[in-house]
């Protein structure tokens, strides 16, 4: 499990770099407004992270739209958790926003990993697929 979490973290770090790079390129070279550029970067990272997590982190074999849609649901759930934690931290507990963000950067990736592990990329039982998923040992 630790190995999977490290791989998941590597994909997340790569996604962060890609998000910043795409944001910079879109704003500085293509004159895209920053908010739109960040949204486009988010969508790019969503797709790249999905592919990397599916193939490398979880070595998941199911195909079709189902896993991608689940991954999107997990990502939107993570966004909701992000907003909720920041609201509680800043508005209700009156913490400094950076302290609130520290709770977010721990809680959201951890919850996303758990949801992706047990739901999005869960191994298909051998009885359903005819074989076990070798990447989940």
Confidence at residue 29, expressed as pLDDT on a 0 to 100 scale: 97
Task: For residue 120, give the nearest of 64, 87, 74 by alpha carbon.
Answer: 74
pLDDT in tens, the chain (137 residues): 889 889 999 998 998 899 889 989 999 999 988 888 888 888 898 999 999 999 998 888 878 898 899 999 999 998 889 889 889 998 999 998 889 888 988 898 899 999 999 999 887 665 655 555 555 54
Query: Which two tokens mark 129?
Result: 């697929």
SS3 per residue for the chain: CHHHHHHHHHHHHHHHHHHHHHHHHHHHHHCCCHHHHHHHHHHHHHHHHHHHHHHHHCCCCCCCHHHHHHHHHHHHHHHHHHHHHHHHHHHHCCCCHHHHHHHHHHHHHHHHHHHHHHHHCCCCCHHHHCCCCHHHC
Confidence at residue 137, expressed as pLDDT on a 0 to 100 scale: 47
């Amino acid at each position: 499990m630790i190995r999977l979490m490290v791989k998941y973290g590597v994909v997340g770090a790569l996604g962060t770099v890609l998000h910043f790079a795409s944001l910079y390129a879109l704003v500085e070279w293509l004159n895209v407004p920053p908010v739109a550029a960040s949204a486009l970067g988010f969508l790019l990272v969503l797709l790249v992270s999905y592919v990397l997590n599916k193939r490398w982190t979880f070595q998941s074999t199911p195909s079709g739209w189902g896993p991608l849609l689940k991954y999107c649901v997990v990502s939107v759930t993570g966004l909701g958790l992000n907003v909720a934690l920041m609201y509680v931290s800043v508005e209700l507990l009156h913490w400094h926003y950076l302290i609130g963000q520290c709770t977010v950067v721990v809680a959201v990736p951890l919850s996303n990993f758990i949801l992706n592990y047990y739901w999005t990329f869960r191994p298909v039982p051998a009885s359903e697929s005819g074989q076990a998923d070798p990447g989940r040992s």
